[in-house]
Amino acid sequence: MNAVAAATAATAATAATAAVVVRRTIAASPEELFDAWLDPEAMTVWMRPGSILRTEARVDRRVGGRYEIIMHSATETHPHTGVYRVIDRPRQLVFTWISRGTEQRETLVTVDFVSRGQKTEVVVTHEQLSEAAQPSHTQGWTSALEHLEELCRRNAQ
């Protein structure tokens, strides 16, 4: 392999392994937040990032189980699929994530739930994204966590 090809391969490998990390501290228990990630009804409320108007979710809540999240904007449908790899209630959830935004390549999402007194820090780490996919996924996870916080606030009232 010549030097140009080696540099191109190294750049592609680095881009494909880049990670997005989004954090939000929410006034809810780790159990409540963890459960919202596996509850299809709850997911239809909070998994609506950006311009998404409606979400459908199907979940097989077990390690090796599949999920499907279909997000609908005014003009497009955005299907997301994957498999649960770790379900450690209420500490951690790990699943693959495949969508048009990942160029139909499998990526990996780890969600950690860290107790902070009466609140919980939710840390979403999305790995194996291309460099081009990082901004939209940062915005998407940030927006989704804002909606999750709103749902918890409404449930607490």
pLDDT surpassing 80 at residue 129: yes
User: Residue 11: is it exposed, middle or buried by C-beta count within 10 angstroms (0-12/13-18/19+)?
Assistant: exposed
Whether residue 135 is contained in a domain is answered as yes
Structural domain boundaries enclosing 35? 17-156
Query: What is the per-residue pLDDT across 74-91, written as a single tens digit (0 to 9) for each?
Result: 999 999 999 999 999 999
Whether residue 4 is contained in a domain is answered as no
Q: Given this model, what pLDDT does residue 157 score?
A: 87
pLDDT surpassing 50 at residue 121: yes
At 65, which CATH number?
3.30.530.20
Q: What is the chain's mean pLDDT, rounded? A: 91
Whether residue 29 is contained in a domain is answered as yes
What is the number of structural domains in the chain? 1
Average pLDDT over residues 141-148: 97
Whether residue 128 is contained in a domain is answered as yes
| pTM for this prediction | 0.89
Whether residue 6 is contained in a domain is answered as no
Whether residue 121 is contained in a domain is answered as yes
Whether residue 76 is contained in a domain is answered as yes
Which strand ranges, in their side-by-side order, compose the sheet holding 54-59?
A: 18-26, 119-129, 107-116, 92-99, 77-88, 66-72, 54-59
Q: Given this model, what pLDDT does residue 57 score?
A: 98
Question: Percent of the chain scored above 70 by pLDDT?
Answer: 89
Whether residue 143 is contained in a domain is answered as yes
